[in-house]
Structure 1
Amino acid sequence: MDASSGSLSYELLAKVGEGSYGTVYKARETGDEQRTLAVKKLHIRGDASESGIPAVMIREVALLSKMRHFNHPNIVKLLDASVEAAGRNLDLTLVLEYIDQDLSTFLSKVPKSGLSHDCIKNVMLQLLRGLDFLHTNMVLHRDIKPENILVSSRGEIKIADFGLARIYTFNIALTPGVVTLWYRAPEVLLNSVYMSSVDMWSAGCILAELFLLRPLFQGYTEVQQLHKIFEVIGLPDEEDWPKDSPIPYTINLGSKGTCTNLLPNLGPDENDLLAQCLTFIPSSRISAAKALAHPFFKKH
């Protein structure tokens, strides 16, 4: 099926994903370039003039458009966007560069012997460069997880899916319930204010997963997730508990004691970077810029 979005003409090849707002297709550009594309078709139901385009969609288009001007190698590129009225509905089409797998799929194919240290460093270096770029531009991603990190056949890492991303000002009141549970920072689980450090917590979870080949904290409720976190990093002191959290401090959430060697099989540099990402106090958590200068990457 031939279609076009703004200045781009393409042929839809196959459906590759379905989400709450629409469908993602693999497509091929028609004409000279014949690039492979990802086409995200989002359907806005009802009377658009009354309800308007959902904020989550506007945000994704606005942020990707902003990012496009900088053309960062570790952020998925938005090539085109268009909106069409279809009766009472609106159809929003985003055309993005196509990357055939995400980090979750990539990890599922890794042999039991695990990833090489060089491969882990390479993935983390690119992820942190992408996060540093976003945070420098005052953008929180808020949903960093393996499914939102794309891995190209050439080993390029691209951060994708900006549906939950948000431009932030200091200590803005942000929506709880963002970030998939396993990669969610304690301050989000505790309904406290948060900053770009939420993405760094998620990056720490991903660093651990690259070594373990499984998620580090696999809770199925918010309280269970906090338990899993405190089993590894130790229960913080009461004075470090966020004052604005509706969840009271209780010693039942875990045992005291800080753990510097979070994963016993890791060397000192790996453990130090991991510990600095998985720090309970958000303001003490390492930034993406500082993480890029960490000794873990020095030999890369």
Structure 2
Amino acid sequence: MVMMGYVRSNYLSKYTYDVKLGEGTFGCVYKAFNKDSGEVVAIKVLKYNQDVQNNLHEVMVLSKIQDHPNIVQLKETIAESNVLGLVFEYMDCSLCKLIRDVKLGRRVCSEVWVRNCCFQILKGLDHMHKSGYFHRDLKPDNLLVSRGGIVKIADLGSATEFKPDAPNTEQHIGTLWYRAPEVLMESSYGPTIDMWAMGAIMAELFLLKPLFPGIRSTDQLYKIYSMIGSPDDLSWLGADADLYEFPPLKEIPFVKLMCHVSKEAFDLMAQLLSWNPSKRPTATEALRHPYFKPCYEVQTT
């Protein structure tokens, strides 16, 4: 049975379905209500076929890392007939939609709001990385926001366990605009790709548009080095370093792109968007950056 648009039925009969929130190759996400408690939830209805292992991957990852206020909560998993339903806590919108709405309203995101948003995302990432996993597809679409300003990491279908002795090499991961150079250059990678994506997202919150809007991998690399400058050292690529040569372009200072942004914000973005993965701060280190000092002052007052 396929559910489209506004549907109310006995399908996953514990819930009454309302609007469709999203759709992809995996299936659909619906806003729904628990018939007994009235609680609002979001249900991801997956295609339940022979590839059950892929469908259950997100469930497995969430079972390992979801006990954190900045990672979306999976409430239950329901298997009925030929579908699998993942019942999540309901969040009001994605960060992508929020950015779009701010831009359409000809407004800007205040630095106070951007700081608080990034602080929450980094806390979720810190928990995830310390639990041995990294997201691999961090982007505004996969970050959810509540009306109260709570930000949560979602859509962990691409997340994977990090094993230092067996680095990841799968290249067709992550959304192009937020894909780290080491992935684009077909090198091994780890949790530092999430930190690169975090830098791109932070810049997008100030710009209200993607920082590196490439259309293919080669163009994406061009967008990166034309913005942050050509790399002066590719030794981190190992034996593959000789395969790449970049024209000598200088970086465009962030201050020319963004007005009324603090020097601490510029410094953090520059660190996160380092060519060399080993020079990017970890989530723990980023949370200690002076940019977030006001967040800790609020927590202690």
Q: Is the 8 A contact 2:235 2:241 kept in 1?
A: no
TM-score normalised to structure 2 length = 0.88
How do 1:89-104 residues align onto structure 2 when only pairs under 5 Å count?
A: 90-104=82-96
Higher-helix-fraction structure = 2
Mapped contact 1:59–1:166 kept (Cα < 8 A): no
After the TM superposition, which of the residue ranges 221-230 and 173-182 deviates more from structure 2?
173-182
Tell me the equivalent position of 2:199: 204
Are the structure 2 counterparts of residues 257 and 102 from structure 1 closer, same or farther at C-alpha, using a change threshold of 3 Å?
same
Which residue is 1:186 aligned to?
181
Distance 1:121 1:83 in 2: 40
Equivalent residue for 1:277? 272
Q: Any idea what the Cα deviations from partners look like across 1:64-111, whole Å, max 9, x if unmatched?
A: 12234x2x1110000001334x4xxx4211000111210011011114
Correspondence 1:28 to 2:46? no
| C-alpha distance 34-280 of structure 1, shift in aligned 2 (>3 A) | same
Identity %: 39
In structure 1, distance between residues paired with 2:241 and 2:215:
20
**Contiguous gaps of at least 5 residues in structure 2:** 1-8, 296-301
Match of 2:70 among 69, 74, 84: 74
Q: SS at 2:254's partner residue?
A: coil
Q: Which moved more, 1:237-246 or 1:127-136?
A: 237-246
| C-alpha separation in 1, matches of 2:241 and 2:87 | 41
AA matched with 1:91: V
Cα drift, residue 262 of structure 1: 3.0
Residue in 1 aligned with 2:161? Answer: 167
The DSSP-based 3-state class of the residue aligned with 1:155 is coil
Q: CA deviation at 1:257?
A: 4.3
Q: CA deviation at 1:231?
A: 1.0
Q: 1:292 to 1:241 in 2, by over 3 A?
A: closer
Q: Identify the match of residue 234 of structure 1 among 229, 238, 255.
A: 229
Report the secondary structure of 1:299's partner residue: helix
Distance in 2, Cα, partners of 1:247 & 1:4: 56
The residue type equivalent to 1:152 in the other structure is S
Q: Distance in 2 between matches of 1:256 and 1:25?
A: 47
1:10 to 2:4 alignment: no
Cα-to-partner distance string for 1:87-139 (whole Å, 9 max, x where unaligned): xxx42110001112100110111143411111111100101101111101011
Unaligned ranges ≥5, structure 1: none
Instruction: Check 1:245–1:80 CA distance in 2 against 1; reply closer, same or farther (3 A cut).
Output: farther
Q: Tell me the CA shift for residue 3 of structure 1.
A: 4.2
Q: Could you say what the CA RMSD is over the residues aligned between the two structures, in angstroms?
A: 1.9
Deviation at 1:246, TM superposition (A): 8.8
| Structure 1 residue 243 displacement after superposition | 2.6
User: How far did 1:297 drift?
Assistant: 1.1
**Alignment-derived partner of residue 107 in structure 1:** 99
Query: Residue type of the partner of 2:185?
Result: L
